A and B are shown apart, each in its own frame.
Chain A
Amino acid sequence: MSSTAIQELVNQPYKHGFVTDIESDTAAKGLNEDTIRFISAKKNEPEWLLEFRLKAYRHWLTMTPPAWSNVKYPEIDFQNISYYSAPKSKKKLASMDEVDPELLKTFEKLGVPMNERAALAGVAVDVIFDSVSVATTYKQKLADVGIIFCSISEAVREHPELVRKYMGSVIPVGDNFYAALNSAVFTDGSFCYIPKGVKCPMELSTYFRINTQDSGQFERTLIVAEDGAQVSYLEGCTAPKFDTNQLHAAVVELVAMDNADIKYSTVQNWYAGDEKGVGGIYNFVTKRGLCKGVNSRISWTQVETGSAITWKYPSCVLRGDNSVGEFYSVALTNHYQQADTGTKMIHIGKNTRSTIVSKGISAGHSNNSYRGLVRIAPTATGARNYSQCDSMLIGDQCGANTFPYIEVRNPSGKVEHEATTSKIGEDQLFYFQSRGIGAEEAVSMIINGFCKDVFQQLPMEFAVEATKLLGLKLEGSVG
């Protein structure tokens, strides 16, 4: 029974598929310099930002989409995408009561009763609906300790000097095809600035939603932690069900100065397409953190369960001496999903350390690849890396691949890499069942055990959500 049971367990329909009917202010399809000027003008941006966008766009024109990754998809027509879509704002909202009830309902369906939840969990939620921030809570509390947490558009208006200084400093406009595209057309995102010595009193989180059909979403996130600052940032994603593929090309930049500590956690559950592989989000994301100062630390934790295609490599550039980079990842693919994900740890400073723990689970006809790079530069004396990549296959139609690149240019560097592949064994299931635990629960427990090392890294609320999410993907009828 077990293999078919497992198949059924993982073949759960997407529970967040619905379209909210809100009037959108959407730009005509297509991309050229005028589109960019339109976006920039719509957002009342300063001249330098328009220049930044145009520079990125001109660079983008000279680039070709990356072909090296282990994913297959039809060529994307970049002229067939609308690059700007915002819920029509009538006037400035003073309180939550003024937020469009349709919008609130959407969050309700998603299980994010944000006023209550925000209060109960003590989480400030900067809600992004499509591309424009509509509500920001707990802002005052953060402002009291000097933390700036707002949408990137607001940051451009209120703190242009900070945005100008750091935007593009970790991921240059021409870094890669999709990062260049994002730099040219990004519409909104989050900005977070933690001043010197401040420990952020709460977990910061943002909910990203893709709503308007055919509108690609280009988020831009920038987090700067000054000397001794500390922050934990949570990002969660769900999207309504659509049949046409939606492109999502986000850019996330983190900067950690001396002794700063940034923890970035993601739960990604975007629409993955149906069981035939029709539809679903293309998630082409560039995430990179720069440990600029000494003793700084950047930690990425991700739980990737959605998207038709995931192409993302949250990376750490360890420039400051003694800086630490971490990457913890769970990637679950099912049906015809494709994931090519991993990390890059670039050791430049002395005594830099990095840890990589990656768990891949493939089911159905999906393809799950870990691709990672550990580079020890000649200057990185005493650098240390430990990597562990485990894969689990459910069914014989899926694939699990591991492509770790290890490049060592300094003899004092110490790099260890381990990878294993396994399946849920009949004997494991038998053991559970002989102790009165049903197959469904057993599979769920085995998978949770497999992912434990990563879940432990998630903040409390997210750990619960992630466990639920995997459970959701696995729950269903047995026998």
Chain B
Amino acid sequence: MSAAVMHPFVEALVAGGRTLPASTASWLNTRRAAALERANALSAPTPRDEEWRFTDLAPLNRLRVVPAAAGASVDVAPFTVSEAGVRLTFVDGVYVPALSSPGALAAGVTVGTLAETLKTKPALIEPHLALHAGFDQQLFTALNTAWLRDGAVVHLAKNAAPNVPLHLLYIATQKDSASCPRSLIVAESGAQGTVIEDYVASGDVADTAYFTNAVTEIVIAPNARLHHVRLQRESAQAVHIASCAVSLAKDASYVSQSIAFGARLSRYNLDVTHQGEGAEAVIDGLALISGQQCADTHTTMDHVRPNGRCTQLHKTIVGGSAHAVFNGKVLVRKDAQLTNSAQQSRNLLLSPNARVDTKPQLEIFADDVKCAHGATVGQLDADQLFYLKSRGIADTQARNLLTFAFGAEIVHRIPVKSLVARLERAVMTQTQAG
């Protein structure tokens, strides 16, 4: 493919990336420059690329966006999580201290911005930042990395265990803007914690388009445990593209629930690598979409070392003319003997024009492993509907109940009570509307 066709969003971000002021850390400048060079060279994916086979980027390619300026003040009240011990708020990708709440943190817990951590504790981030989320062939990660100037840093020192969730809130407020949120989460050995990553929209972007291009890197050291809750509640016209790279060391544990409600077009790449022996991952996903929405989730579970475990449950509820895509790759490398990896993709179609494309994928190069995947696509179970109706529950209500129950299975795995309650309401509203 030639680089001749450069879509406006790429052009805008590449041009903007060039004008970014240099960082004081030379290593960061080097990594940024390398990413900028790749972003400039790579062309935007098309449905001819296997990884983008089902997802049409046309809504994004049409978009004329400018890199977001510093954000205006917004009301964060609707987005706060009462249990959270700390909240970092970024408006259009820029940190806003006034909207953040630092909280009192347990010893060994660092939650701050990239800019600040670069000044105070650069040693915490240098070994990780931009080294886990590959950008050699990934245009969107390259664009984000080229734009790396600020972002959230969560660092849990050895054996640190904040007993409250840490909240990273990204708010989009400007129409026709492009922002590149960035997060780095590091759990040193024996540490454990819960991080909520939350993408929302506020103000005048409710019905207009904008582009969020997020990248998150998560590093979990031996015996550390991290629970990662990811919410994507962008506005109805937004384009949300995100990548998350997770690296697990020996006996580390990663649990994640990612929920996608919003955006006209969303894509989430979750790449989990078991770099150490005996690592464990639990990956759950829920996409609840309707209208013209398209939600695409791609996961890669890479078992590199022996004795790894992984269970995945991905659900979609698709109404209107919406389109859900799931691609789950499980890769078991030669040395990853005794791996146990299971994956489920469950898809519920609610309307005649809804569409689902799912592709669970196994690539196995070790002989002593247990791997399984399953995929189902269907509508609500007729017997279950009949059962409810025979007990006097109206058809619509019965349908809503069953749809709700289908989605609630994932929501209930989130360990933050107020969030569960809020998401339950959202699922309820959406199922009733759909």
Question: What is the interface of chain A, defined by CB distance below 8 A to chain B?
Answer: 68, 376, 378, 391, 393-423
Contacts and interface: CB of A to CB of B under 8 A. Distances in A.
A68 B360 contact: no
B396 to A, nearest CB: 16
A410 B364 contact: no
A65 B376 CA distance: 33
B378 interface: yes
A332 to B, nearest CB: 15
A395 B50 CA distance: 30
Contact of B366 (A396, A405, A410): A396
Interface size class on chain B is: 35 or more
B375 interface: yes
Nearest to A418: B374
B18 interface: no
Given A391-B362, A395-B367, A411-B351, A417 B376 contact: yes
Given A406-B358, A421-B362, 4 more contacts: A391-B364, A396-B334, A416-B374, A417-B373
Interface in B361-380: 361-379
A408 B355 contact: yes
B360 A419 contact: yes
B359 A409 contact: no
5 contacts: A378-B352, A401-B362, A406-B357, A413-B377, A418-B374
Contact of B359 (A398, A406, A418): A406
A130 B378 CA distance: 48
Given A409-B355, A411-B349, A411-B352, A404 B375 contact: yes
B359 A399 contact: no
B238 interface: no
B373 A419 contact: yes
Given A404-B359, A405-B359, A420-B371, A413 B366 contact: no
Nearest to B369: A421
6 pairs of A and B residues whose beta carbons are closest in the complex: A411-B349, A393-B367, A402-B362, A417-B375, A421-B371, A414-B378
A257 to B, nearest CB: 30
A446 to B, nearest CB: 14
A97 B285 CA distance: 70
A406 B327 CA distance: 10
Nearest to B380: A411
B354 interface: yes
Contacts of B355: 407-409
Contacts of A403: 359, 361
B337 interface: yes
A239 to B, nearest CB: 29
Nearest to A415: B377
A248 B43 CA distance: 38
A338 to B, nearest CB: 14
B350 interface: yes
Nearest to B53: A405
A68 B51 CA distance: 12
A162 to B, nearest CB: 39
Nearest to A367: B365
B281 to A, nearest CB: 18
B372 A415 contact: no
A412 B350 CA distance: 9
B363 A411 contact: no
B357 A421 contact: no
B248 interface: no
Contacts of A415: 375-378
A417 B372 contact: no
Contacts of A409: 355
B350 A411 contact: yes
Nearest to A387: B375
B367 A423 contact: yes
Nearest to A403: B361
Nearest to B347: A408
Given A401-B364, A408-B357, A411-B351, A416 B376 contact: yes
B364 A417 contact: no
A474 B103 CA distance: 67
B360 A421 contact: no
A393 B373 CA distance: 16
Contact of A393 (B347, B349, B366): B366
B294 to A, nearest CB: 14
B356 interface: yes
Contacts of A406: 356-359, 375, 377
A396 B355 CA distance: 39
B360 A417 contact: yes
Given A403-B361, A413-B377, A420-B372, A408 B356 contact: yes
B363 A399 contact: yes
Nearest to A409: B355
A419 B374 contact: yes
A276 to B, nearest CB: 20
A422 B364 contact: no
A153 to B, nearest CB: 40
Contact of B365 (A399, A411, A420): A399
Contact of B377 (A378, A391, A402, A414): A414
Contacts of A418: 372-374
Given A404-B375, A413-B378, A422 B370 contact: yes
A398 B377 contact: no
